[in-house]
Amino acid sequence: MRISIIGTGYVGLVSGACFAQMGNNVTCVDIDQGKINKLIQGIIPIYEPGLEDIVVENYTKKTLGFTTDIAEAIVNTTISFIAVGTPMGEDGSADLQYVLAVAKSIGQYMQHHMVIVDKSTVPVGTAEKVRITIQAELDARESNLTFDVVSNPEFLKEGAAIKDFMHPDRIVIGADNDTAIQIMHDLYSPFMKTHDRFIGMDIKSAEMTKYAANAMLATKISFMNEMSNICERIGADINKVRNGIGSDSRIGYSFIYPGCGYGGSCFPKDVQALAKTAKDFGYIPRILDAVEAVNYDQKHVISQKVFKRFGKDLSNKIFAVWGLAFKPETDDMREASSITIINDLTTAGAKIVAYDPKARDEAESHYLYGNTNVSYVDSKYKALKDADAVILITEWQEFRSPDFYEIKNLLKTSIFFDGRNQFKKERMAEMGFEYFQIGVQ
């Protein structure tokens, strides 16, 4: 099929590359000429394992193209995906200005019947707004062209997005007619050779499915973090509790690891947007509000442990930070716990020496830009020299089995704050570390 994808961010670029990998002819569109120029040169604006290889491969084969001209992109395409950002507004709602701007352009330039697919994460009711926007432009043109609007939420995990797209757990499609459903089934059929994971439903239910899924996962994380805070106060060990409850097949082990809070582009934004939607319709979402409140507090837990150990005045203290990204295998720092922890500590006068395998540029250029108390190094051990303690925030693989003797030799004092509970407290004590975890006294 001939496909256009409007927006070359995380979702748009991964989707375009994977569709091209299956033999479709894909044109990706972005208003940022600089980004398009870099993509044409094979320079990928985000880090995602495996993405660069398939982008370069399919651009070379001419099954994947890049342009800033939306009219050129949609002229011969059957399906056009809207995959632009929906940033969080001040009131927690999703900002739809970019989605509707794309819809307006499609209405202005489409020349034949098209299927318009909402791939961006959008609130319930957005498909109807897209429909109204496109129809208004067609009416202004006095055009009788027809189109379908479809909801196709993405369920990609950063760090495993290519695998998730090529081997999906499910493909959710919301549409209001069987023809549109069949077109989308045909598009996705190469991704379902071993098992039909296609789930068709009405549009509003599809839009809601994405929010409900992310809210459920965020709820598990905040629930477990709340349990960890209780365990720490009563003398229980959250790591043992996790093993005890995770063995129950009704609960499972996924998303029940205690830590210093969730971040990223999805969970924080989607929980708040769903809560805002609920309130707009007269319902107070008490669980969602609690999930967000617990997560907000959890991002301060590690810094509070530091203050308890070193005092509120951290002048002349140096802390090594391992990990800046909100999770491993990505350079994404949106809503990352590291931002909160580092800002807490530097506000108290501390100096930070940070290391992350992929997110350094994001920190320096944006998320920690202007914080003169933060410096960066290119290896985990360089961060440790003469530091008063090390703080592990992101559970990158290279942090799982470090040389603890080297850590002790480099640190000024053998103090280890572990925001992801990577190690056993007893073993750390045997090696002479003063070790602080989440949910353990």
Decide if 3 contacts 24 (C-beta within 8 A): yes
Point out the residues that are catalytic. Answer: 266
Q: Measured between alpha carbons, how far is 66 from 45 in angstroms, rounded to an integer?
A: 13
147 DSSP β-pair partners: 114
Q: Measured between alpha carbons, how far is 284 from 279 in angstroms, rounded to an integer?
A: 6
